[in-house]
């Protein structure tokens, strides 16, 4: 099916400018170039929009969507542009609608333990404002220093604490959404249970901006855990490290995080950060965090997990209790993606997720793929969730054409294995976006794919809302 979109005429630009005001409309190429891509590789995916709008209210967004509906202009919503699946790329041109100027905390409600904020607030900024009250939003992703709340919700982002706390969606009690038709809809509220009609809120969570634009959200807060402590556990081989993960999860202790980093991920990142970690003979490391309300309980659990790691062949078990050491280690973990990108900007950062007991089966297959396709695949990720960020890296020597030939073959093979033999999924937290939509179609049974299409058509019959994402 091919959709005909309208043209962004001079008259339309005038109407849009009347809605948002001159400072919130960008049309010159130099400025809008920044909005042509996200964190996927620019060479492969970038598209330039016709113009960029930075509205300051839901009312403005509603007016924009009414115009877009009238003229059939594609609209691509955008948060911080920190996405990893091309979700914010304006594939068919038209309007990029950035929520960057809608970045206020609207209410902190301590009696109900909620915060209401606009979609454009940086996630870390939100938690900074909550810190003095001893509260936090537990559902944030690893990119918290740059990403926006709206993007977190649209992608249902995971993150470093998901083993214990779950992902973004669990914490979203309410949201305001502007539909493709330009209606402003308030979903949910501050209640913690609700079965009054279809759960549209859950549907918008993770819908990647293809059903509407999230403009604000009400988030359930938790008290900041009084104690948190970390183990850094090196193993001689990656396989030994990953094999311990399901054993930890079966012990009855629920760690906050179990992160896995293979040797090449750590090496690239230490060199990028000018940091050093003890790496002699190390094949991979686990970074395990445990938090709680009670120091003794946390310590006991930490020792129990540490002992298990030792029994399973850990080379060493380092405890990082003080905040500085913890921050140093987590900084390595958080910067891996960036470090690999600096090494080779053309790459495919993967996000496969498998049942936890199957996670030891992923690495041997990655080894086979490395050998078969002669590429390096540094691997790290949220092992405690069964979620690994294997990163297929274009060797700086390889031509772009060769890469474009290799990438889909390797990915098809990997995804078939993950979704077939292991019962896993192709994306745990980064989303489908532009990058994986062909693969999603390939691995999704036709009846389910048909429901995806019916859903999209029901909410956005003109296909103007972030078209070309998730679905083909």
Task: Say if residues 286 and 241 touch (Cβ distance below 8 Å).
Answer: yes
Least spacing, CB of residue 239 vs a copy of itself, in Å: 17
- List 387, 411, 463, 464, residue binding a copy of itself (CB under 8 A): 387
Kindly identify the residues of this chain, within the stretch 159-188, that bind a copy of itself according to CB under 8 A.
Answer: 162, 166-167, 170, 179, 183-187
- List 43, 128, 199, 405, residue binding a copy of itself (CB under 8 A): 199
Least spacing, CB of residue 435 vs a copy of itself, in Å: 12
Q: Does 107 bind a copy of itself (CB under 8 A)?
A: no
**Please, how many CA atoms are within 13 Å of residue 280, restricted to the half-sphere of its CB?**
1
Which of these ranges, 15-23, 45-53, 108-116, 139-147, lies near a copy of itself under the rule CB under 8 A?
108-116
Q: Does 423 bind a copy of itself (CB under 8 A)?
A: yes
Q: Does 431 bind a copy of itself (CB under 8 A)?
A: yes
Least spacing, CB of residue 115 vs a copy of itself, in Å: 13
Closest of 394, 356, 362 to residue 379, by C-alpha: 362
Residue 218 backbone zone (phi > 0: left; psi -120 to 50: alpha; other: beta):
beta
* Distance (Å, whole) CA 436 – CA 428: 12
* Distance (Å, whole) CA 334 – CA 120: 22
- List 132, 196, 274, 276, residue binding a copy of itself (CB under 8 A): 196
Task: Say if residues 61 and 178 touch (Cβ distance below 8 Å).
Answer: yes
Closest of 46, 45, 44 to residue 403, by C-alpha: 44
- As given in the structure block, the two tokens for residue 393 are 């890296």
Angle ∠(462,102,6) on CA atoms, nearest 5: 25
Pattern 433-452, a copy of itself, x by CB under 8 A = ---x---x--xxx-xxxxxx
- List 139, 158, 234, 467, residue binding a copy of itself (CB under 8 A): 158
Q: Does 191 bind a copy of itself (CB under 8 A)?
A: yes
Q: Does 365 bind a copy of itself (CB under 8 A)?
A: no
Residue 314 backbone zone (phi > 0: left; psi -120 to 50: alpha; other: beta):
beta
- List 83, 150, 160, 206, residue binding a copy of itself (CB under 8 A): 206
Task: Say if residues 392 and 375 touch (Cβ distance below 8 Å).
Answer: yes
Q: Does 345 bind a copy of itself (CB under 8 A)?
A: no
Least spacing, CB of residue 246 vs a copy of itself, in Å: 6
Q: Does 397 bind a copy of itself (CB under 8 A)?
A: no
Kindly identify the residues of this chain, within the stretch 254-293, that bind a copy of itself according to CB under 8 A.
Answer: 293
Cα separations in angstroms, 158 against 223, 248, 317, 344? 19, 20, 27, 25
Closer residue to a copy of itself, CB minimum distance, 148 or 343: 148
């Amino acid at each position: 099916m091919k959709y005909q979109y309208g043209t962004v005429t001079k008259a339309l630009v005038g109407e849009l400018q009347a809605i948002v005001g001159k400072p919130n409309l960008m049309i010159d190429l130099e400025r809008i170039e920044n909005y042509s891509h996200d964190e996927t590789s620019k060479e492969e995916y970038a598209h330039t929009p016709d113009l960029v709008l930075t509205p300051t209210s839901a009312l403005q967004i509603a007016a924009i969507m009414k115009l877009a509906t009238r003229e059939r202009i594609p609209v691509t919503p955008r948060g911080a542009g920190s996405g990893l699946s091309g979700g914010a790329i304006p594939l068919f041109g038209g309007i990029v609608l950035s929520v960057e100027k809608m970045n206020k905390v609207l209410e902190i409600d301590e009696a109900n333990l909620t915060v209401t904020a606009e979609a454009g607030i940086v996630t870390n900024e939100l938690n900074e404002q909550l810190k003095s009250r001893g509260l936090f939003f537990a559902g944030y992703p690893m990119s918290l220093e740059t990403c926006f709340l709206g993007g977190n919700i649209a992608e249902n982002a995971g993150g470093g604490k998901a083993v214990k706390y779950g992902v973004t969606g669990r914490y979203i009690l309410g949201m305001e959404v502007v539909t493709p038709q330009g209606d402003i809809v308030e979903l949910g509220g501050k209640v913690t249970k609700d079965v009054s009609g279809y759960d549209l809120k859950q549907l918008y969570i993770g819908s990647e901006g293809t059903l509407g634009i999230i403009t604000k959200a009400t988030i359930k807060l938790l008290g900041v855990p009084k104690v948190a402590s970390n183990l850094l556990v090196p193993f001689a081989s990656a396989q030994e490290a990953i094999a311990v993960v399901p054993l930890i999860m079966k012990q009855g202790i629920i760690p906050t995080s179990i992160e896995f980093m293979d040797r090449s991920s750590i090496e690239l990142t230490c060199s990028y950060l000018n940091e050093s970690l003890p790496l002699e003979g190390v094949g991979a490391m686990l970074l395990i965090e445990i938090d709680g309300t009670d120091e003794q309980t946390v310590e006991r659990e930490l020792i129990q997990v540490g002992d298990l790691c030792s029994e399973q062949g850990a080379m060493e078990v380092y405890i990082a209790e003080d905040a500085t050491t913890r921050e140093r280690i987590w900084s390595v973990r958080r910067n891996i993606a960036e470090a690999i990108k600096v090494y080779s900007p053309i790459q495919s950062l993967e996000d496969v997720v498998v049942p936890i007991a199957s996670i030891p089966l992923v690495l041997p297959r990655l080894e086979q793929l490395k050998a078969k396709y002669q590429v390096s695949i540094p691997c790290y990720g949220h092992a405690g969730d069964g979620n690994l960020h294997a990163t297929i890296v274009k060797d700086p020597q390889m031509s772009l054409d060769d890469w474009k030939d290799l990438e889909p073959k390797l990915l098809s093979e990997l995804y078939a294995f993950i979704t077939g033999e292991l019962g896993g999924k192709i994306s745990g937290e980064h989303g489908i976006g532009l990058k994986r939509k062909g693969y999603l179609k390939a691995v999704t049974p036709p009846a389910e794919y048909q429901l995806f299409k019916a859903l999209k058509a029901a909410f956005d019959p003109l296909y103007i809302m972030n078209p070309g994402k998730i679905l083909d």
